[in-house]
Amino acid sequence: MKRSPLALALSSALSLIHHGAHATDPAIVLGDVTILAPNNGPLPSSQVLTSVDILGGDKVQDKNVMNSWELLGQMPGIQLTETRMGAESGKATFRAFNGEGYINGIKVLIDGIPSNVNSGNQRFIDMIFPLEIDYIEVVRGTNDPRYGLHNIGGNINIATRQGGNYLDSRLTYGSFNTREAQVALGRESDGFAQNYFFAKQDSDGHRDHSESEKYSFGAKWSLTAAGGAVRTGLAVRAYNHKAEEPGFLTAAELAADRDQSPAKNANDRDDRDMSQISAHLDWEIAPTVFLGNKLYFNTYKDDRQVTFSSNPAGTAPRQRRIWDEHQFGLLSTLTWRANALITVDGGVNVERQKNEYRRYRYAFSVPTVFGTPAFTQNDDAYSLNNVGAYVQTVIAPTESLKVIPGYRVDRFSGHTLIRTSGVEADLQDSGWIDQPKLSVVYSPVENMSLYANWGRTFQVLTGSRAPAYLTPGQSEFKPSINTGKEAGIKFAPAAGSEMRLAVWQQDATDEVANMPSTGTTVGLGETRRRGVDLQLTGRLTDRLEVWLSHSVQEAKVVSAFTSTGTSLAGKEVFSTPRYITNIGADYRLSDAWRFGLQGRAQGDYYIDDLNAQGKFGSFVLFDASVRYTLSPTTSLDLQVRNIADRDYEYVWYDNFFWPAGSHQPSFSPGPGRAAYLSLNLKL
């Protein structure tokens, strides 16, 4: 009898339980992580939530990547969408949410500060370089009440280094004439901590016309009062990226030359600036009461010139898009440890966005001449305001049982001015969006944790025009409500190892694929995402550490129709692979030599909503690394990415700018084999 993947995974997991060692909570940690979680501080995610993965700084600080979202590819169930169009480089997603830019279902935070742009895209991640990262935390599912906007399938928090005394630097040279310098400095004394970071990266790119130049600067200062009851802090970041865009290839162009940049794209480029300023105040009001506050200001400015096709008809394929976004926000949380039985955690957040978006279209030429536009399609000024609040209670009636009910509400308002027509309109009125949550963790024996959770999240429309805003003739549109549930088991099959198996499902009402940059909104209707996650980490010997994860997933439309009345029921949501696999090993031969191997694979996916254009995008890639330590302060790294030199590419369906009947797949090839040599200095 043929057995399903779920049945096989369950059988394998249960067969190992009797070999287990102690399992504390459902979180899985990869690498060395030190997260300060005093008994009188804020509640750590791993003690409250259930599907939590933490990646230590030692697994990321020595990695060579063009963009830091690539670091998340080491983590379980993470899909990397590698567009690699200059500054518009890609993103990391999970729980069967794709990275096309249409359905932005993952909340991003940097040191707990919300860091998505208005559309939900993850562009602020690019400000962070590997050497600055302390750890990365991923919370999957719908049961986290701390965040509302964009927190549909879960969230990613990138924590940077705080305090300490160090001076670390990393100099890299490698393939495609890549040059990179990173410097991190920390000083801490008498309650005053300073952290500084600077990075500069230049590369010719793996394709023609793909030169890139970027820098990032960050600084943090914090002061802890005598006795440690009050800590104040200030953090600032600035980032600039200038990059050429090589353009997407047709199937014929890909077959002829994977590294080419078509003539039409010779003037395509991007100039992006981002900044973040945040102030922090933490106050231990009493031994059992802790108050945390974060005030922040984010800016995002982007000037992109892009050509999508060489079709001479119309101006749609040739565009200049200019974004200017400002976000002001406050997050305040209060944690009360009433007694050994009950802990209450709650908070409020306020965010005010003031944004502008301009889009110009240009006449046909090869390459596109971004001079005088043929016409202005967008000249919009719009706001988005969010007020939210949550409360969750950790109830521990016994040492083996923990029940966490939670509740969150959000409300949105805003206004848009379309300068090209003089039309003004208010944001769709969603009212208060209710989001109940519930998590349960039970440890029947010392070596095992069983958990389950249920919760609701939401999707609201973003952008500057209808249907997000009620312009004349626009019908009312309610938020899409996502209801998720999950059950899992975590245990230690042997000393020094951890294993987790989870089964999950997430149902959405009235889901919308929304692309504010193109003004494209496609109703997907009712959708269902579901899957199985299997993770295993272990230290087999004092010298050998291994990890493995395999996620099987699907995202399907339950009930929806195209604009022409064709049913989408049973169709898979486009650009969602059916599986994602990670495998890796670190081996320390001696104090001087360390070797690493990492593999990443994903299945293919449909590229259109009707599932009629075939499946693309599968790959199997391996990376290898060698580190030689010359002295306690000096080491050398050699890293080879895509060691088998496999061809792979990101694929999307270009059905916007061609004449009817001429739509076709568009390809962005990934880099082939690439090698990087780095010098690390620690003083």
Tell whether the torsion through CA atoms of 202, 677, 138 and 14 is positive or negative.
Answer: positive
Mean of per-residue pLDDT scores for the chain? 92
Residue 154 lies in a domain: yes
Q: Which residues pair with 669 in a beta bridge?
A: 649
Residue pair 325/358 in contact (Cβ under 8 Å)? The answer is no
How many domains in the chain?
1
Question: In this predicted model, what pLDDT tens digit does every residue of 264-308 receive, in sequence order?
Answer: 999 999 999 999 999 999 999 999 999 999 999 999 999 999 999
Task: Tell me what pLDDT residue 38 has.
Answer: 56
3-class DSSP assignment, residue 16? helix
Write down the pLDDT at residue 658. 67
Q: What is the 3-state secondary structure (H, E, C) of 289-343?
A: EEEEEEEEEEEEEEEEEEECCCCCCCCCCEEEEEEEEEEEEEEEEEEEECCCCEE
Three-state DSSP class for residue 204: coil
DSSP-derived secondary structure letter, 478: P
Residue 31 has pLDDT above 80, yes or no: no
Q: Is 2 part of any domain?
A: no
Return the bridge partners of 680, or none: 170, 635
**Residue 1 half-sphere exposure, CB side, CA atoms within 13 Å?**
4
Tens of pLDDT, residues 638-647: 999 999 999 9
Question: Percent helix, strand and coil across the chain, each rounded to 5?
Answer: 5, 55, 35
Is the per-residue pLDDT at 97 higher than 60? yes
Name the one residue in this structure whose structure tokens are 């390809």. Answer: 667
Q: Is the pLDDT of residue 10 over 80?
A: no
Has residue 3 been placed in a domain?
no
Q: Is the pLDDT of residue 600 over 60?
A: yes
| CA-closest candidate to residue 144, choices 51, 30, 38 | 51
Chain centre to alpha carbon of residue 250:
28
pLDDT surpassing 80 at residue 657: no
Range of the domain at 548: 15-682
Residue 509: inside a domain: yes
Instruction: State how beta strands 106-110 and 166-174 pair.
Output: unpaired
**Which helix (H) or strand (E) segment is 514 a member of?**
strand 497-515
Does the residue 418 lie in any domain?
Answer: yes
Give the span between the Cα atoms of 102 and 105, in whole angstroms. Answer: 9
Q: Which helix (H) or strand (E) holds 9?
A: helix 5-16
pLDDT given at position 661 = 67
Residue 1 lies in a domain: no
Closest listed residue to residue 272, CA positions, set 126, 71, 102: 126
**CB 225 within 8 Å of CB 191:** yes
Whether the predicted pLDDT of 373 surpasses 90: yes
Q: What is the pLDDT of residues 303-358, one digit of tens each?
A: 999 999 888 888 889 999 999 999 999 999 999 999 999 999 999 999 999 999 99
**524 in a structural domain:** yes
- CATH number, domain with residue 513: 2.40.170.20
In a domain, 6, yes or no: no
How confident is the model over 546-589, as pLDDT tens digits?
A: 999 999 999 999 998 877 888 999 999 999 999 999 999 999 99
